[in-house]
Amino acid sequence: MFSQVGKITRRALLAAGFAMPLVATAMATTASAESVLRVVPHADLKNLDPIWTTAYISRNHGYMIYDTLFAMDENFTPQPQMVDTWSTSEDGLVWTFVLRDGLKFHDGAPVTGEDVVASLKRWGARDGMGQQLFGVIESLEATDAKTVVMTLQKPYGLVLESIGKISSNVPFIMPKRIAETDPFEQITEYIGSGPFVFQADQWVPGSTVVYTKFEDYVPRSEPVSAAAGGKVAKVDKVIWQYFPDATTAMNALMAGEVDFYESPAPDLAPILSSNPDITVEVNDPLGSIGFARFNHVLPPFDNADIRRAAIMAMKQEDYLAAGIGDPQFWKTCYSVFPCGTPLQNDVGSDLMATGDAEAAKAALQAAGYDGTPVVIMQPTDIAVLSAFSLVTAEKLRDAGFNVKLEAMDWSTLTSRRALRDPVGEGGWNMFHTWWIGADVIDPMAIAFSGNPDKGWFGWANDPALEEARAAFATASSLEEKKTIAAKVQERLWAIGASGQLGQFFTPVAYRNNVKGLIKSPVQFFWNMSVE
């Protein structure tokens, strides 16, 4: 349970005083026989293709309707999910996967090996781990309806970890006809084989998403463990009801009109915790890492020295205090890999350890900054990221940057950040986000890519970084992996890839009649029931 520490804001006090009923159309009373889990998601679902984007709301949507070959358990060990049996040749070059019985898409078609091949190829074109894996794949083919054979050019140590990764981009399996969509274009049909069915005709962007139980889904028999084990849909319907205003969302939970609030604003958590009918707790043991991401393609951040000058102005304590608040839910961390994990290190981290505005100003002048405006996209509907944006604007102005904040919602930001156009034509210079710790636990993360053609938004370009990342996949010992990880971190700081804004732990909030919450870095809605 969340403990009430620190000050309660004026907004929170006002909210507690008049938590009023907020009846939405999508929350209309359902038949008594129908069980419904009503969820306030952390963001509006606008982009439905979890391969095209790394946005976590799209990833969560993906987990509702798609399934995966393997899945990570609570110990981050890959376990079979759609796969029944698998084998590896003695030389480690040939991997054979046999699908389990009963796999069926929502349109009634059986899941086949050809669906798997097409889905993995599309994922491999966009995801960081997928790109590295496909860099050593000689062939990937379906030898019969249930069998997929992967032949490698050389042994590769992260095959199962890649195709079983837990977060963005997740290698979800789609029908072949859909998976053959250009990976840099969004799909337009949303058919999976997972435990829930997306009701496209009931989707209202900016408001409501509806999922219904897939009656033909056959769960695994193993106990649930993070993303692994039996995905048992224990409710007939899951409704995501999006509220752009955090106080409104909190009121809905307190009034019993929603059951689960995925990411309550930090300053409202003490009020929620004071309600005896509500539980507030941290569900992700690794937490999240704040990022200030530069556009490496457009000026002024096409200059590494200017990016580094901006990073020098950043002070993690200021970001975390503004965005998270209560110190029990955050800590400074100057490693690009989450603190408390095996690859944590301090190589190059002195660049932003102090947040020295004067040093940043001197570095900016030395870099020849010419006053080019810095356009920061500010997602006003996500409190943490909105606060991060405001802190960066202030710090960069103090360092001598010409800063322009452009307010928008998160779903708009996730679409706009894919544009490489000039700023005057829809482009951008900076945005803020976070990665869950599980996504950036090692150098294979797309967030650390140095490939401008296939990498993450911002499009960093550093061949030395890519060489080090490729070497990590073939490392044979933990010590070798640590050495390579330190090299990756050195390159990331050297090129000023992103600002690291610290490590934080965002609680979830839910009514006490909700049962079966899965402890995991990713929010899942199978195994959950409403009593």
Kindly report, residue by residue over 310-355, the tens digit of the pLDDT. Answer: 999 999 999 999 999 989 899 999 999 999 999 999 999 999 878 8
> Distances from the Cα of 265 to the Cαs of 9, 179, 197, 382, 385, in angstroms?
11, 36, 29, 8, 11
pLDDT tens digits along 366-385: 999 999 999 999 999 998 99
pLDDT at 31: 46
- Greatest distance between any 2 Cα atoms in the chain: 69
* The two three-digit tokens of residue 299, written as one number: 């000026």
Does residue 8 belong to any structural domain of this protein? no
The 3-state DSSP class for residue 507 equals: strand
Confidence grade of residue 7 (pLDDT, cut at 50, 70, 90):
very low
Q: Is the dihedral of CA 244, 245, 246, 251 positive or negative?
A: negative
> Distances from the Cα of 78 to the Cαs of 73, 75, 134, 171, 364, in angstroms?
6, 9, 19, 13, 45
Q: Are residues 268 and 307 in the same domain?
A: no
By DSSP bridging, strand 330-331 and strand 278-282 are unpaired
Tell me how many domains the chain contains. 2
Beta-strand runs (E) in 166-307: 196-198, 208-213, 237-241, 260-261, 278-282, 288-294
Nearest alpha carbon to residue 510 among 304, 202, 297, 277: 277
Does residue 377 belong to any structural domain of this protein? yes
353 versus 71: the higher-pLDDT residue is: 71
Q: From the centroid of its chain, how far is CA 33?
A: 35
Asked whether residue 8 carries a pLDDT value surpassing 60, the answer given is no
pLDDT tens digits along 273-301: 999 999 999 999 889 999 999 999 999 99
Domain encompassing residue 497: 288-504
Q: Are residues 330 and 254 in the same domain?
A: no
Residue linked to tokens 């929010």 = 523
CA angle 515, 247, 233 (to 5 degrees): 25
Distance CA 234, CA 31 (A): 16
Confidence grade of residue 3 (pLDDT, cut at 50, 70, 90):
very low
Share of the chain above pLDDT 90, in %: 89
Does residue 531 contact residue 286 with C-beta atoms inside 8 Å? no
Q: Are residues 116 and 90 in the same domain?
A: yes
Does residue 83 belong to any structural domain of this protein? yes
Does residue 93 belong to any structural domain of this protein? yes
CATH of the domain at 436: 3.10.105.10
Asked whether residue 527 carries a pLDDT value surpassing 60, the answer given is yes
pLDDT at 32: 55
Please provide the average confidence, as pLDDT, over all residues in the chain.
93
pLDDT at 6: 37
**Residue 358, exposed/middle/buried by CB under 10 A (0-12, 13-18, 19+)?**
exposed
> Distances from the Cα of 282 to the Cαs of 60, 212, 291, 394, 509, in angstroms?
18, 27, 20, 30, 9
Does residue 292 contact residue 499 with C-beta atoms inside 8 Å? yes
CATH of the domain at 234: 3.40.190.10
Does residue 23 belong to any structural domain of this protein? no
Asked whether residue 137 carries a pLDDT value surpassing 80, the answer given is yes
Q: Are residues 67 and 152 in the same domain?
A: yes
DSSP string, 119-161: HHHHHHHH-HHHHHHHTSEEEEEEEETTEEEEEESS--TTHHH
pLDDT tens digits along 205-221: 999 999 999 999 999 99
Q: Which residues contact 308 (CB under 8 A, 6 or more apart)?
A: 351, 363, 367, 493, 496
String of b and e for 415-450 (b: at least 16 CB within 10 Å)?
Answer: bbbeeeeebeeebbbbbbbbbbbbbbbbbbbbbbbb
pLDDT at 354: 81
Q: Are residues 351 and 423 in the same domain?
A: yes
Dihedral of the alpha carbons of 463, 466, 472, 475, in degrees to the nearest 10: -40
Q: Are residues 473 and 525 in the same domain?
A: no
Nearest alpha carbon to residue 445 among 370, 343, 517: 343
Distance CA 472, CA 466 (A): 10
pLDDT at 81: 98
Q: Are residues 165 and 300 in the same domain?
A: no
Does residue 61 contact residue 48 with C-beta atoms inside 8 Å? yes
Q: Are residues 200 and 324 in the same domain?
A: no
Does residue 492 contact residue 311 with C-beta atoms inside 8 Å? no
Q: Are residues 274 and 293 in the same domain?
A: no
AA identity, residue 498: S
Residue linked to tokens 């690291």 = 500
Q: Are residues 321 and 253 in the same domain?
A: no
Asked whether residue 139 carries a pLDDT value surpassing 50, the answer given is yes
Q: What is the DSSP letter of 8?
A: P
Q: Are residues 368 and 266 in the same domain?
A: no
Average pLDDT over residues 249-259: 97
Does residue 128 belong to any structural domain of this protein? yes
Neighbours of 308 (CB within 10 A): 21
Average pLDDT over residues 91-97: 97
Does residue 524 belong to any structural domain of this protein? yes
* The two three-digit tokens of residue 283, written as one number: 């569900």
Does residue 12 belong to any structural domain of this protein? no
Q: Are residues 215 and 347 in the same domain?
A: no
pLDDT tens digits along 407-449: 999 999 999 999 999 999 999 999 999 999 999 999 999 999 9
